[in-house]
Structure 1
Amino acid sequence: MAGGVPEIVVYRSPTCGCCGKWVQHLRDQRFKIKDVVSDDMQAIKDKYGVPREMASCHTAVIDGYVIEGHVPARDIKRLLEMKPDVVGISVPGMPVGTPGMEMGGRKDPYQVISFDKEGRYRVFDDY
């Protein structure tokens, strides 16, 4: 997969430990990462059009798509293959059991949601 997937630029707060764990999840899946630490995450979310309802702790950009929060690597790969007409995908909030938010065997149900410029949301994947 290396070489076939574009670099992902991850914006994260310097004080967030779970963001670093999510970045490691992507590295484990052979993503090439540019890690950008920022003290103003809201400005980044505004710049890339992340709706308040879709917000989480970190924001990433890959091949023109926004990845918000603890999205599993497999969903990012699927997004890049499908190339839907959306702004990006998100795991809103910080559900336990998502990549980077592991807490033993506990896994809360969660959804990966796609969002577009018109403010429409759709379930992209369900866990």
Structure 2
Amino acid sequence: MKRTVTRRGLLRAGATTVVLGTAGCLGSSSEDEWDIEGTLAVTNAQQYSSPGCSCCGRYASYLRDHLDTTLGETETEDVTDLKRQHGIPSDLQSCHTLVLDEYVVEGHVPVEIIATMLDEVPAIDGIALPGMPAGSPGMGGTKSDTFTVYKLGSGKTGDVYTEI
């Protein structure tokens, strides 16, 4: 059986190699583990955070270092309504929602995954890393399991964008 090599497959393999190599060298969780070279080329970046959530601020600081533009930050009392407006199903929600140009990014998604999405320009509304997983950017702790990042859009839940 002949296998076809695609750009997406090569990018996914390369990203996995970088993540595993970095994790092995560092031995513990660090936001440096999730860094990329360059910045995210977006014109609009707005983060909506849950009130009093300290990890939202840490994620915003992490993200600011990787943007071509200024990050707007808003604490909103009605995060449920905001997430509903952006079509984020309850089982994919986290503590903050990021709007980057036409895409929505829910939760502590590493910038390397956001960069891949912006590069590929998929026909989706965005991506989500549900919950607040230890070892993800802004959360601290040690990554112990695979992170599953889901696609947002079309009212569907459960379609996997990538795993890291």
TM-score (structure 1 length as normaliser): 0.88
Q: Provide runs of 4+ in structure 1 moved above 4 Å.
A: none
Gaps of 5+ in 2: 1-37
Q: Which of the pair has more CA radius of gyration?
A: 2
Deviations along 1:42-90, one digit per CA (max 9) or x if unpaired, are 1110111101111111011112111000011111111111111111100
**Percent of aligned positions that are identical:** 35
1:18 aligns with 2:55: yes
The answer to whether the aligner puts 1:56 opposite 2:94 as a matched pair is: yes
Judge conservation of contact 2:150–2:158 (CA < 8 Å) in 1: yes
Q: Pick one of 62, 71, 74 that aligns with 1:36.
A: 74
Q: Does 1:7 align with 2:7?
A: no
Aligned Cα root-mean-square deviation (Å) = 1.7
Matched, 1:102 2:140: yes
Q: 1:3 to 1:45 in 2, by over 3 A?
A: closer
Structure 1: give runs of 5+ residues left out of the alignment: none
- State the AA in 1 paired with 2:130: P
Corresponding letter in the other structure for 1:107:
K
The answer as to 2:113 corresponding to 1:75 is yes
Give 1:14 deviation, angstroms.
Answer: 2.6
The answer on 1:45 being equivalent to 2:45 is: no
Counterparts of 2:152 and 2:121, CA distance in 1:
13
- Three-state SS of the structure 2 residue aligned to 1:61 is strand
Give 1:94's aligned amino acid.
Answer: M
Displacement, 1:10?
0.3
Higher strand share: 1
Which of 115, 118, 122 is the aligned partner of 2:159?
A: 122
Higher helix share: 2
